[in-house]
C-alpha cells in the first residue's frame, strides 16, 4: 500500500479512536450516574475491548484474573494502554499519577472508573493514597498499581517502589503479580510501539500505533500471595521477581 494511502487509513482510524474517547466521556457524564457498580464495570470492560480493537491490538490472557477482592494487583508499566488492557480483562480500581486525571477526556474516564490519583513526588500524598487504598481493600475492592512508578520500554522490570504495598499489609489483603508484554502479531517479537516514555505525547503514541503492524497484548496473571511476615520492601522486591518471571516466561514461550 502506498504511503499516502497508509496515512489516509491511519487518519481515518485516528478519527475513530478520538470518537470512541468522546463517546466514553459522554457515557460516564450522562449514563454512569444511573448505573449500578456492576453495570459500570460491564460498560468499562466493553469500552476497553472496543478501544483495543480500534488500535488493532489482540488480547491474550493467561493465568487466573481476579473475580473479587480484596486484592492488590501489581503490574509492570509500559504504556497508557496498560490500564485499558487490564480493564478489558477484569474490573478493578487503579492508582495513577495525578497528571492522568488532568488529561482531556481520558482524565474524566479515569475518574469515573474510580481511579485514585497520586502526586508521585509527594510523600505526604503517598501516605494519603495508601490510607485510601486500605479503605477500598476493606470494602472488598480490587486495586491495581504500577510499582515501578513510571513506564518503561518493557524489556525489563524496573525496581518496585514499596510504599503502596503497605496498603495490602495493613489490611492483610493478598497481592497478585501481573506481567504485561506487547509483541507484533506476525513475528511474536517484542514491540516498542506502545511504549510511552521520554517525550511521547498521547496523540503521538496513538498515531504511532495506528501506523504499526497489528500488535498483541499478553497479560499474565501469577498466583496470589500473602505477606507472610514480610515487610513492604522485602515483599515488593519479591513481587518484582514474580512479575519478571512471568514476563520472561512469555518471552521464552
pLDDT, position 2: 56
Per-range mean pLDDT, top range of 2-6, 26-30, 194-198, 216-220: 216-220
pLDDT tens for 186-234 read 888 999 889 988 778 888 888 888 888 899 999 999 999 999 999 999 9
- Checking DSSP bridges between strand 215-221 and strand 142-145, what pairing results, if any? unpaired
What's the whole-number average pLDDT of the chain? 90
Cβ-contact 44, 91 below 8 angstroms: yes
pLDDT, position 252: 61
- Checking DSSP bridges between strand 93-97 and strand 57-62, what pairing results, if any? unpaired
Sign of the Cα torsion 193, 154, 83, 108 reads negative
Distance between CA 5 and CA 9 in Å, rounded? 6
pTM: 0.91
Cβ-contact 195, 148 below 8 angstroms: no
Q: Does the structure show a pLDDT above 90 at 182? A: yes
Mean pLDDT over residues 32-39, rounded?
92
Question: Among 1-10, 81-90, 204-213, which is the least confidently predicted range?
Answer: 1-10
Q: Is 34 helix (H, G, I), strand (E, B) or coil?
A: helix
The DSSP H or E segment spanning 118 is strand 116-118
**pLDDT band at residue 6 under the 50/70/90 scheme:** low
Mean pLDDT over residues 151-180, rounded?
94
Sign of the Cα torsion 225, 227, 229, 234 reads positive
Residue 59 gets the label, from left (phi > 0), alpha (psi -120 to 50) or beta, of beta
Q: Does the structure show a pLDDT above 80 at 122? A: no
Amino acid at each position: 500500500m502506498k504511503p499516502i494511502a497508509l496515512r489516509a487509513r491511519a487518519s481515518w482510524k485516528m478519527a475513530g479512536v478520538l470518537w470512541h474517547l468522546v463517546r466514553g466521556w459522554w457515557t460516564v457524564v450522562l449514563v454512569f450516574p444511573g448505573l449500578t457498580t456492576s453495570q459500570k464495570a460491564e460498560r468499562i470492560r466493553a469500552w476497553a475491548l472496543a478501544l483495543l480493537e480500534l488500535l488493532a491490538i489482540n488480547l491474550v490472557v493467561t493465568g487466573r484474573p481476579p473475580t473479587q477482592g480484596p486484592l492488590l494487583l501489581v503490574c509492570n508499566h509500559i504504556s497508557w494502554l496498560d490500564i485499558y488492557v487490564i480493564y478489558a480483562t477484569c474490573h478493578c480500581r487503579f492508582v495513577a499519577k495525578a497528571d492522568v486525571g488532568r488529561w482531556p477526556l481520558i482524565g474524566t474516564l479515569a475518574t469515573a472508573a474510580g481511579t485514585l490519583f497520586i502526586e508521585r513526588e509527594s510523600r505526604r500524598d503517598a501516605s494519603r493514597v495508601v490510607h485510601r487504598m486500605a479503605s477500598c481493600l476493606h470494602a472488598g475492592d480490587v486495586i491495581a498499581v504500577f510499582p515501578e512508578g513510571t513506564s518503561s520500554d518493557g524489556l525489563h522490570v524496573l525496581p518496585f517502589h514499596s510504599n503502596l504495598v503497605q496498603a495490602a499489609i495493613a489490611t492483610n489483603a493478598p497481592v497478585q503479580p501481573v506481567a504485561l508484554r506487547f509483541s507484533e502479531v506476525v513475528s511474536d517479537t517484542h514491540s516498542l510501539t506502545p511504549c510511552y516514555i521520554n517525550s511521547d505525547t498521547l496523540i503521538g503514541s496513538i498515531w504511532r500505533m495506528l501506523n504499526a503492524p497489528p500488535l498483541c497484548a499478553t497479560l499474565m496473571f501469577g498466583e496470589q500471595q500473602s505477606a507472610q511476615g514480610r515487610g513492604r520492601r522485602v515483599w515488593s522486591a519479591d513481587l518484582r521477581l514474580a512479575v519478571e518471571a512471568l514476563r520472561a516466561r512469555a518471552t521464552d514461550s
